[in-house]
Amino acid sequence: DMLLSTCPHRLCLACAETGGLSQCPVCRAPLPEDRQPDTDFLSRVQAARLTCECGAEVPLLEAASHSCEQLRKRKLPEITPWLGAGRRRPPPAQNRSTFTCPLCQEGNLSRQGLLEHCRQVHADSGQVAAVCPICRAMPWGDPNYVSRDVLSHLQLRHNCDYAVLADFEADEETMLRRALQDSMRDLAASEEDMLAKALE
């Protein structure tokens, strides 16, 4: 199910609930505390149909599994991701698993270790401006961006491991496309499960 939100972005309801999201990860608009599925969006997706080159009308949720002779004959073009002007992939050996505390320079801290260290050692430091070491290590991070309250930033933005959620070799557009494809596949699978249960 998709989350009914105040912003135009579509979010997986289960991901928003289990991830404890309070803001849209794209535009940072606040998410409603009363999480409701976007039934209008679901009905539009279920009603959407695509016309294949073979002339068959295929429901959108079944389009990925549609196969016909014309599709088998067609060779898809090779697609190379474009990173944009001046953007380069990070070197493959970049360390994204250990960090240095931006306040006291204690090093070799995991993401979780950095969060715990800051909670225990720097809890009374108040608002401190510094560069977030986790953001700096990410391919999309700005190594020069100074957060006005780095301790709050760490607690709010880095409660999960990026290694689980992100492919560091892919650009942001590719990751977004994969997330949408995974979401649609999961939606189709859950609908098939509901249909199978209804037919039992």
Question: pLDDT tens for residues 145-196?
Answer: 899 999 999 988 887 776 666 666 677 677 778 878 888 888 888 778 777 7
Question: pLDDT tens for residues 18-47?
Answer: 777 788 877 788 888 888 888 888 888 888
Say how many CA atoms lie within 13 Å of 188 toward its Cβ: 14
pLDDT for the residue 139: 76
Q: Is the pLDDT reported for residue 52 higher than 60?
A: yes
pLDDT for the residue 93: 52
The answer to the question of residue 98 being in a domain is: no
pLDDT for the residue 128: 92
CA 22, CA 34: separation in Å to the nearest integer? 11
The answer to the question of residue 140 being in a domain is: yes
The answer to the question of residue 148 being in a domain is: yes
CA 98, CA 83: separation in Å to the nearest integer? 26
Backbone angles phi, psi at 51, to 5 degrees: -105, 120
The answer to the question of residue 154 being in a domain is: yes
Which of the pair, 11 or 111, is modelled with greater confidence? 111
The answer to the question of residue 49 being in a domain is: no
| CA-to-CA dists, residue 7 to 16, 25, 32, 36, 142, angstroms | 14, 11, 10, 14, 26
Average pLDDT over residues 52-81: 72
pLDDT for the residue 70: 67
pLDDT for the residue 56: 84
CA 32, CA 24: separation in Å to the nearest integer? 10
The answer to the question of residue 170 being in a domain is: no
Q: Is the pLDDT reported for residue 84 higher than 70?
A: no
Domain residues for 154? 111-165
Which pTM was predicted? Answer: 0.41
Q: What is the tally of structural domains in the chain?
A: 1
The answer to the question of residue 77 being in a domain is: no
Question: pLDDT tens for residues 89-146?
Answer: 555 556 678 899 999 999 989 989 999 999 999 989 889 999 999 888 887 778 888 9
The answer to the question of residue 83 being in a domain is: no
User: Torsion-angle region of residue 14: left (phi > 0), alpha (psi -120 to 50) or beta?
Assistant: alpha
Contact in structure between 117 and 150 (CB atoms under 8 Å): no
